[in-house]
Structure 1
Amino acid sequence: MRARQAALAARVIRADALGPVRRIAGVDVSASRFDPARRVHAAAVLLEWPSLALLARAGASLPAPLPYIPGLLGFREAPAVMEALARLPERPDLLMVDGQGIAHPRRCGLAAHLGVLLDLPSIGVAKSRLIGAPEGPLGAAPGAWVRLLDGGEVVGALLRSRARANPLLVSIGHSVSLETALGWVRATLRRHRLPEPTRLAHAAAAMVRRGEAL
């Protein structure tokens, strides 16, 4: 699986290769360590741009193909996420993933994994840092950001989405530059710490895990 991640990472396009954006999808995954079936519950939401109106939600629950292994979550979570995305009425122009992109030990977090497999421009928007260190101090004002370095390589950015809130970790998934990824995350922020696509996906994934209708 690590060799497969290295092969996927080699296919990641780190420059802008996205066309006009009319539809943005957000995805997230939820699971319970108390579930004897070890299911992965995924949700995908489809939003219209620029209004960010919610157009559709879809979910999928599948048995986890492997246990929880840090660094290999793409293989555990991607099948359910791809099933949820397939149930949306339209293919999105841009995918925002609650998780890492290239800010990953082998440069293949879930956002990069999905972006390459689906050939879909994607952005990782994680709530916490997996690797790397900030290039300098992060300002306290909303919108402040600083590059994240790992071994001298820029792998993402820390973004202060709200005052006094912990920063988000934004990273390239596929076919989107870091600057463009930051721009999209900032453009889809409203009153919350998370951008609307992943915030709504996070709520929908919890509903799928609880067995509630979307």
Structure 2
Amino acid sequence: MPTLFPQPKDLREAAAMQKLLAGAVIVGGNPEDARYIAALDASHPTRFSKQKGPSVAVAVLWDQQKGEVLEVATAQMDEALLFPYVPGFLSFREAPLYLAALAGLSRPPEVLLVDGQGIAHPRGLGIAAHLGVHLDLPAIGVAKTLLFGRPEGDLPPEAGSAVRLMNGSVQIGWVYRSRTGVQPLFVSPGHRVGMEESLALVRSLKGKTRLPEPLRIAHIQAGAARRAARSE
């Protein structure tokens, strides 16, 4: 699994890299038979507080057949070594952390489930798409907030409801309500997963909160790992 992640020297070069790599994204494929899913989440020092310590990332290896976590791998990096926080360019900041966490797993995953955007991104390359292309793995983005696009219509309040997320006349993802009455998630294919198939896989991963269960666990583990790293 490749770990070297090319970094741009400035935002202009970063945007050009994103546009180039977006052309390599494949929106097609069905991961329904995949057994091992890596759920990825990261935690950073709060920019608007005096919190210190490194940024951390977690890779939770989920066994889809058994419906359980097999292992958790963590990685951490000093903030000074990471690409600056710039909305729309978070993959350059977080991907090195995720790659380090993935390298700590004892077996390679078959699918990546990433806390962030897939192709629902101004230049078509959110973190899930960027990682998917870099690793040539099926990848899906599951974001808690809308970055780009507009819902095709009103989202019903019932669990399981979904409406298409559009960029003009082109679908780029889904607005999905995982539990009745909760805020929606924004699901988009990252690489080597079809539009319908990305939603189907996320729907199959029911969780105790609005997040798919592997991502819920990754989120909890990432927060715990950063608190532990901060206290060291």
Q: Same fold (TM over 0.5)?
A: yes
SS at match of 1:211: helix
Q: CA–CA distance in 2 between the matches of 1:35 and 1:107?
A: 33
Q: 1:152 to 1:26 in 2, by over 3 A?
A: same
Tell me the distance in 2 between the aligned counterparts of 1:17 and 1:3. Answer: 29
* Root-mean-square deviation over aligned CA pairs: 1.5
* d(CA) in 1 for partners of 2:215, 2:140: 11
- Cα deviation for residue 51 of structure 1 reads 2.3
Q: Which amino acid counterpart does residue 14 of structure 1 have in structure 2?
A: V
Alignment of 1:1-214 (within 5 A): 1-16=14-29, 18=31, 20-32=33-45, 33=47, 34-35=50-51, 39-64=54-79, 65-211=82-228
- TM-score after normalising by structure 1: 0.94
Displaced runs of 4+ in structure 1, greater than 6 A? none
Kept in 1: contact 2:128–2:140 (CA 8 A): yes
In the alignment, the residues of structure 2 paired with residue 133 and residue 174 of structure 1 have an alpha-carbon distance, to the nearest angstrom, of 21
Shift of the 35–198 alpha-carbon distance from structure 1 to 2, 3 Å rule, reads same
Aligned-partner residue type, residue 61 of structure 1: Q
* TM superposition score normalised by structure 2: 0.87
Query: 3-state DSSP class of the match of 1:115?
Result: helix
In 1: Cα distance, 2:185 partner to 2:197 partner: 15
The DSSP-based 3-state class of the residue aligned with 1:179 is helix
Partner-residue secondary structure (3-state), 1:42: strand
The number of residue pairs the alignment matches comes to 211
Tell me by how many angstroms 1:35 deviates.
4.8
What residue identity is the alignment partner of 1:146? V
- What's the CA shift for 1:20? 3.5
Moved more, 16-25 or 157-166: 16-25
Gaps of 5+ in 2: 1-13
Residue pair 1:143, 1:159 contacting (<8 A) in 2 also: yes
How many percent identity over aligned positions?
Answer: 46
